A and B are shown apart, each in its own frame.
Chain A
Amino acid sequence: MQLGRVLVAVLLIAAAPLVSAQDRPSQEMVMDDPRIGLGAGLFDAEEAIWNLRKVANERPSESFVGVTNSDLAFKDNYVIQGNYNGIMVWDITDPASPSLEVEYVCPASQSDVSVYENLLFVSGEGFGGRLDCGTEGIEERVSAHRLRGIRIFDITDIKNPVYVHNVQTCRGSHTHSVLKDPKDDENVYIYVSGSAPVRPAEELPGCSAMSPDEDPESALFRIEVIKVPLADPTQAAIVSSPRIFEDLAEPPQHGPTQAERQELAEAKARGAFVVTLFGREILLPDRYVEPIIAEYFEAEEIEEPTADDTTAFREALPGMLAERFGPPPADDEVEQRGPDQCHDITLYPEIGLAGGACEGYGLLLDISDPANPIRIDAVADSNFSYWHSATFNNDGSKILFTDEWGGGGQPKCRESDPMEWGANAYFTIDRDLKMNFKSYFKLPVPQTNEENCVAHNGSLIPIPGRDIFVQAWYQGGISVTDWTDPSNVVEIAYHDRGPVSPERMQMGGSWSVYWYNGLIVSSEIARGLDIFELVPSDHLTENEIAASKTVRLDYLNAQGQPTYEWPPSFALARAYLDQLERGQGLSGEQIEVLRQGLDEAEGMSGDAMIMRLMDLLDEIEDAATASDGADHLKLKKLGSSILHKLGQ
């Protein structure tokens, strides 16, 4: 009897079945892809490649083979590659044939590397790292020989690194980021991250693993900032230990994806139950609503509910739910200590911001005072297991975070693993410096049980006018994505190998992949160093790639994000024209006229070239006046900043 009433009520109120918004993935896994079923092998695995060209694969040297390759840093024509056994320096002057210049054996995990001018910084976290770089490890739990923290090398002669100093920290250094403050030319700052347990005070005096309530000097719930005087790096020392997590209590929700927003809108349109709970719209599943409906009509003694009754129920529902859930907890009821540490912090000094990937949170930090970073926003996400790293887009209006679910040693890209887990999450950063969730993206093809795979490190590729990201997915390979529209992230290139072993999970794949002066350089955990180049495709034109190659860096630490600047060039002008054509911002005829004009101008010199460019400038300004939005901006950039400068 009661069940019958419930069914009638449900049918009356909602014609379509109710589903939980969280059940539906926002991104589909691709089941027909050349990356599926690649043959295994350490040095002879099958490969799949799309819109990239492999320029080189250098196998590890004998000193380092079989030991994990880790992160990369770049200086001039050199790539510095970390390895759990030490550091390597590759000369990539001829990218097709990198030469190994330095094999410096000095074990430490993870050997995360960064450079600044004549200094090289290396992270040590594991227990076996020794001050004397010995390979024998350390058995004792308390030892005067152990290094956990930052090693500093002088690389004035990069072919002969000299170990000059180290800074010990209570939790070692899993990763670190180097901050060059635009206002300070005498020092650099190192933000040390890592969640390893605190070392005993007997080994490093002052280290305390007690809660901050019991011991204000606790090494928990803080990061370390090291100040390195450039004139004398041997004076480098911890300058502050900011507690950037204090009073942090962002609830572990996830923002609605595009698909969920659409679903909510559709659900509302068909009259399903959408309620606001804890500041978030939730589509109530029928198994949840049914008993409430039953209870309500039972209490109201309604046998056959009419449309009016259901309207009354709708009105009463929020109150009933509020009664069930009670008021949201007052802030002081929750222990607001937040995460315990960060995994990685990406510093973007030109915009004065940093993205902190800190256990259960993504943080936005103000770093205008380098020794005293201040948290300005925080996000949490119930789909994110472990916030791992962050990358801003070039103008700082967006940020992406990666979720290294499972720690990188697990196969988390199987067909059975949800697409929102172990993925990237994309946010816009609004004028008030609040982050707004837009979508997730995960490597779209399933990997095997033998391949460790999850979102990992990457960097921006300087395609002008677009946000393009190249990213490592361990044995999922590398993937290039376009996140110009953060609600709709699109893969535009990839490279993948089969598993290291056909029969067991061996750690392997790309640890990190970064763009550096036209090359895409990947640190392959087991297979050495890979170098790729973009090739033109429907997603990326030859001109866009040529324009990206006009950006030159003297050095790169991907976690100290540089601003990309494009010098005015014909390639840049043509790249914008290609984008206007792709986005249909100009007519085919206009494009043709402008292209022809650019070709002519490039073939001219002196006054003739200036006159031709000024003509083009007039045409573009006319077109800009007639356009709006993104096209308008693109035309403005093309016109005033490029043609004008070219004509000067």
Chain B
Amino acid sequence: MNMQLQVRKITLLLFVLCVSILPQVSWAQADDTTSLEELYWARQDSARAKFSQADVDFMSGMIGHHAQALVMSGFAPKNGASASVQILAARIINAQNDEINTMQRWLRDRGQTVTEVEIQGNTLIIHGGGHHAMHMPGMLTQDEMKELELARGVGFDRLFLMYMIKHHMGAVTMVRDLLAIDGAVTGDDTYKIATDIHVDQVTEIARMEQMLAQLPDAN
């Protein structure tokens, strides 16, 4: 086992002991790099201890929500999307994959069930938390996913943009709902994840609305 991990486990243990005894933790004098480093990792651990059930539900739900965006975006290269929609889809895949990793790490760090996603062809399977994924705001129904899968060319572009705008708006709603809950989003990590998703998707919605407006009329 590597040294760093060991140090972290010990400091976490110390931290838990301290917290259980004292209301405010006072840290031992860090007289060298090792103890300063221990303090660093202990702070990481104590920061992670600040979370609520609402935060956990948000993370596990959003992993499933993001996963559907991956499936939707995966259609773009095969379905004759325009170059600009392909760029957009590629960036959604890159961004939301990384965010899924971040949210999974967030859950793992806090000892929570980690939502795993599996994409088999065009089918999305969600394990662990987030069982009610289909009922989250902005999620596409099976029929809508099928419709998108079958669309081609400009028709695909239009449907993709419409559905992705709706999907993003759902994610924005999920963030806003989370932020309205007492006791939620008290940790810096949690705040960063939630607000990064918020601003990223608000920005992308504006871009997609512009792209949609520029598509030729349907006929």
Contacts and interface: CB of A to CB of B under 8 A. Distances in A.
A410 B191 contact: no
A382 B206 contact: no
A409 B196 contact: yes
A504 B180 contact: no
A339 B203 contact: yes
A456 B60 CA distance: 30
B102 interface: yes
B27 A410 contact: no
Interface string B178-204: 011111011010011101101110111
A326 B44 contact: no
A329 B213 contact: yes
- Could you say which of A128, A333, A411 has the most chain B C-beta atoms within 10 Å of its C-beta? A128
A219 to B, nearest CB: 13
B127 interface: no
B39 A62 contact: yes
A126 to B, nearest CB: 5
Contacts of B42: 66
B98 A406 contact: yes
Q: Chain B interface secondary structure, helix, strand, loop or mixed?
A: helix
Contact of A67 (B43, B88, B175): B43
Contacts of B10: none
A473 interface: no
Interface footprint category on B: 35 or more
Given A249-B210, A359-B202, A385-B200, A65 B186 contact: no
Contacts, number: 156
B210 A334 contact: yes
B116 interface: no
Nearest to B30: A62
Nearest to A43: B33
A337 B50 CA distance: 38
B43 A359 contact: no
B209 interface: yes
B143 interface: no
B36 interface: yes
A328 B182 contact: no
A359 to B, nearest CB: 4
B200 to A, nearest CB: 7
B83 A68 contact: no
Nearest to A501: B4
A582 to B, nearest CB: 38
Contact of B91 (A65, A385, A410): A385
Contacts of B33: 43-44, 59
A208 B105 CA distance: 34
B123 interface: no
A526 interface: yes
A491 to B, nearest CB: 24
B188 A382 contact: no
B216 A197 contact: no
Interface stretch (A137-145, A155-163, A362-370, A543-551): A137-145
A383 interface: yes
A196 interface: yes
A226 to B, nearest CB: 22
Contact residues on A (Cβ < 8 Å of other chain), bracket: 35 or more
A42 B210 contact: no
Nearest to A140: B182
B207 A109 contact: no
A196 B199 CA distance: 7
A78 interface: no
Interface in B63-97: 83-84, 87-88, 91, 94-95
Given A324-B216, A406-B95, A505-B105, A22 B83 contact: yes
Residue from A20, A200, A329 whose CB has the most chain B CB atoms within 10 Å: A329
A566 interface: no
A394 B191 CA distance: 37
Interface in B127-153: none
A43 B39 contact: no
A417 interface: yes
A126 B88 CA distance: 30
B176 interface: yes
B214 interface: yes
A197 B91 contact: no
Given A334-B210, A360-B203, A410 B36 contact: no
A340 B217 CA distance: 27
A338 B203 CA distance: 9
Given A20-B83, A126-B191, A197-B175, A385 B203 contact: yes
A536 interface: no
Contacts of B214: 251, 278, 328-329
B206 A338 contact: yes
B36 A196 contact: no
Between B27, B179, B181, the greatest number of chain A beta carbons within 10 A of the residue's beta carbon is seen for B179
B16 interface: no
Nearest to A528: B36
A142 B78 CA distance: 48
Contacts of A285: 83
A226 B216 CA distance: 44
16 contacts: A44-B33, A66-B39, A67-B188, A127-B185, A140-B182, A196-B195, A197-B198, A200-B180, A252-B207, A337-B206, A359-B199, A360-B207, A385-B95, A385-B200, A410-B102, A505-B101
Interface of B: 2, 4-5, 27, 29-30, 33, 36-37, 39-44, 47, 50, 83-84, 87-88, 91, 94-95, 98-99, 101-102, 105, 175-176, 179-183, 185-186, 188, 191-193, 195-196, 198-200, 202-204, 206-207, 209-211, 213-214, 216-217
Given A20-B83, A359-B202, 6 more contacts: A22-B83, A140-B183, A197-B195, A197-B198, A340-B206, A359-B199
Closest 8 CB pairs of A and B: A66-B43, A407-B196, A326-B216, A359-B203, A66-B40, A334-B213, A195-B199, A410-B98
Interface of A: 20, 22, 42-44, 59-60, 62, 65-68, 84, 109, 126-128, 137-141, 195-197, 200, 249, 251-252, 278, 285, 324-326, 328-329, 333-335, 337-340, 359-360, 380, 382-383, 385-386, 405-407, 409-412, 417, 421, 501-506, 526
